A and B are shown apart, each in its own frame.
Chain A
Amino acid sequence: MRRIILPALTRIEGHGKIIIQLDDQGNVADARFTVMSLRGFERFCAGRPVEEMPRLVTRICGVCPWAHHLASAKAGDALFGAAIPPAARKLRELTYMAHYMHSHVLHFYFLSGPDLLLGAPSDASGRGIAGLLQAVPGLARRALRARQLGQMMTRILGGKAIHPDVAVPGGWSKPLTGTEVGALKEMGRECRDFAAFAIADAKQEVFPRYLDEWGSFAPITTGFLGTTRNGALDLYDGDLRMMTRDGGYEDFAAADYLAHISECSMPWSYSKFSYHRQAEGFSMEPDRPAGVYRAGALARINVCDRIPTPLAQEELEEFRRAFGRPAQSSCLFHWCRLIELVFAAERALELLDDPEITDPHTRVPAELIAGRGVGSVEAPRGTLIHDYKADGRGLITAVNLIVGTTHNNAAINLSLKAAARSLIRGGTWDDGVLNRVAMAVRAYDP
């Protein structure tokens, strides 16, 4: 039996390896996406003071540190029973919207962008940021600028764009000034214009080229997990919604996640696999998967009833008319990311127009209480859950983390198997084929 091993999958955050097992006829017998390392945050965060957690867990991911930062601050709020001031909640959400600008632009244009925008360059090393700057310089520079704007906004709001520490159990440590609001509004408007351009441009130039092919090469059918607030898309706060493949759903508080989600491990990956408890067991067999659901942009767009900003709501309606609910093709993750980009920019401007955003009262003192606190946000890559227990000195005794890619791990493996089976037949493949296989994984932005 032969194996195709892609030792280090490119253009993803972290270390992922693809192993494709071929049978005697050269067809795909099995395929796996395996995560190659583990740092053990769930162990070494125990013993740390609760209030230090939001500035420790950022280091889980330098692409999406704000997701971990805010989920952790929310877990700290819950653990200490702190009712944070309205301005703190708004500043957290506003900064998070700017962070989405960075993360979604990074993924669409620079991680998946080479696949979507460049076609098939003769030299594979052209599939990268330098290749983009050469082939589509105007678009690449515009996207670089938009991502940078998001980072500049988070820097103004939180002091530090990567690995921030401004969100604390009890609120937010740095009030926003009127002068800063002026500068942020200007940047926010440029972000909104970019987002509107990005989705219009992609609907014209990118998606039509790929939709047919995408629909056919890696079809899977799963459930979806996301956050909604009164049914509307919300990236910072709300109830979790688990939707089954037929579109039925159940809402529950994030703190009750264990009643709905289980995790298990496989001997071949350092990343765990979460699955829907209410399903009949867990299986990643392509022909009869069980318990598998997806999280992230596609899931959020599927589970929400509406989007509370006008341009993004129009995009949602158009998307639903075209693909139904729930839409199943993983390649639609890219489309949904751009709908969320529009929402994030619109929502940032709404929050900047709110007079309460400059209220200097952004923090309440936290009190040391023993107990448990669960915080969740929608990370760009999927629902993020931080679950802490602490003793009476406010020191952490136990930590459970479920990150976006854990929710998606089973689905990624399913998509990979489906793509590999349909693209590799009779023992023949080339770089282009393998990149198509990789795209099935990259769609999740793992």
Chain B
Amino acid sequence: MLRIAWDCLAACSGCETALLDIGEPLLDILAQARIAHMPLLMDGPAGGLSISGQSGIPAADVGVLSGCLRTEADVALAEEMREKCQTLLAVGTCAAFGGVPALANQHALSDMMDTVFPLAQETEVSAPPLAVPRMLDRVRALTEVVRVDMVLPGCPPPPEMLAAGLTSLLDGMPFHLPERSVCDECPTRRERKSLATIQRPLEAVYSRPGQGLGEVRCYMEQGFLCLGPVTMAGCGGADRVPRCIEARVACRGCFGPLRAGADPMLDMLGALASIGLDPRLIEDRAATFRRFTGAGGRLRPLSAAREPTGTAEGGAS
């Protein structure tokens, strides 16, 4: 029986919630595999409360890690999992590309700690903690730190994709990610030219009450920035309709780039120009285009001059 070890780096547990969202088919997967380690959902063999100071990670056929690397403890965990697991699976966009936490890479670490633990905030004088794992200078994706055998992107990956990925491992079959973009699966109507200049999503996309998505004009052609053209498809799961499009809001790229190594920033500039939209009118461009892909050097500290006003004091009043 295949032994699985599953652990989390700096993460939100959304990938693991998606695992539970598989529902009934998860019981079939659990029947074919033995989860040997998964601190979020079970104790370890020697007591989840192993007192040895050790991680308690057993050798396993398949290791699964979600999350990005934020501290030295995350690096140690990633390395131990790599060593003990035959096949290592990176689950979710944080592990694959850094994810939302990699937005922190726009700031020097000291700047982040000074903001979160302000010395002169009216709530309380406080200082950053010391007796805790040391922070890395920047957020890293799992793929930057150890060799990864398989990546399931998504924030989170939809339950159907997680089930398919795990099943392919159980069956020893290769698993293929979609080679399509979100636009390729988007049901909205495209005419390849924009109706309006680019605008912030402060009002609803235009659609008449009761209108199906197939009759609604492409959100970006309505002037709302959408990262669909540069984002890998797959978020729609079984019914294939991209999730954010279904919620009547534009894509922000949580599945990461279409091809490994592609830069959504550059490709997006082309996509905007092709329908006559001016990317210079987009606020907060870099952090929006690279919202989920800020690891691997894609997001770097901004120069001091470009810092938004007011943040230097930090905190709220």
- Interface residues in chain A, defined as those with a beta carbon under 8 Å from any beta carbon in chain B: 4-15, 18, 34-40, 42-49, 51-52, 55-56, 59-63, 65, 80, 102, 106, 110-111, 114, 123-125, 127-131, 133, 141, 144-145, 147-148, 151, 158-166, 168-170, 173-175, 177, 258, 261-270, 272, 360, 363, 365-368, 372, 387-389, 391, 393-400, 431, 434-435, 437-438
Contact = CB atoms under 8 A, between A and B. Distances in A.
B74 interface: yes
Contacts of A61: 12-14
B104 interface: yes
Contacts of B27: 133, 141, 144
Interface string B63-77: 000000011011000
Interface in B29-68: 30, 34-36, 38-51, 53-56
B197 interface: no
A344 B146 CA distance: 44
Contacts of A163: 14, 155-156, 254
Contacts of B305: none
Interface residue tally on B, bucketed by range: 35 or more
Contact of B315 (A14, A106, A400): A400
Contacts of B130: 267-268
Candidate in B15, B40, B244, B288 with the most chain A CB atoms within 10 angstroms? B40
B202 interface: yes
B200 interface: yes
A111 B131 CA distance: 28
B10 interface: yes
Nearest to B294: A44
Contacts, number: 320
24 contacts: A7-B54, A12-B40, A34-B132, A40-B107, A43-B111, A43-B116, A52-B252, A59-B12, A61-B12, A62-B15, A102-B17, A159-B246, A162-B14, A165-B247, A170-B203, A175-B209, A258-B316, A263-B124, A365-B202, A368-B202, A394-B200, A395-B308, A397-B308, A431-B46
A49 B200 contact: yes
Contacts of A40: 101, 104, 107, 112-113, 115-116
Contacts of B284: 47-49, 52, 395
A151 B243 CA distance: 14
Nearest to A12: B40
B12 A10 contact: no
Interface residues of chain B: helix, strand, loop or mixed (majority): loop
B112 A43 contact: yes
Nearest to A110: B41
Contact of A393 (B34, B133, B283, B314): B283
B310 interface: yes
Contacts of A268: 129-132
Contacts of B56: 7-8
B42 A43 contact: no
B49 A123 contact: no
Given A59-B99, A62-B11, 12 more contacts: A6-B49, A10-B43, A39-B70, A39-B101, A43-B314, A49-B200, A60-B12, A102-B17, A148-B20, A173-B249, A263-B123, A363-B203
A162 B12 CA distance: 11
The 8 tightest CB contacts between A and B, nearest first, are A62-B14, A128-B42, A159-B247, A400-B316, A397-B310, A10-B48, A431-B47, A62-B12
B96 interface: no
B178 interface: no
B308 A124 contact: no
B15 to A, nearest CB: 7
B315 A398 contact: yes
A123 B47 CA distance: 8
A391 B43 contact: no
Contacts of A6: 49-51
Nearest to B45: A125
Nearest to A131: B42
Contacts of B131: 34, 267-268
B13 A55 contact: no
B14 A59 contact: yes
Candidate in B42, B107, B314 with the most chain A CB atoms within 10 angstroms? B42
Contacts of A49: 200, 283-284, 288
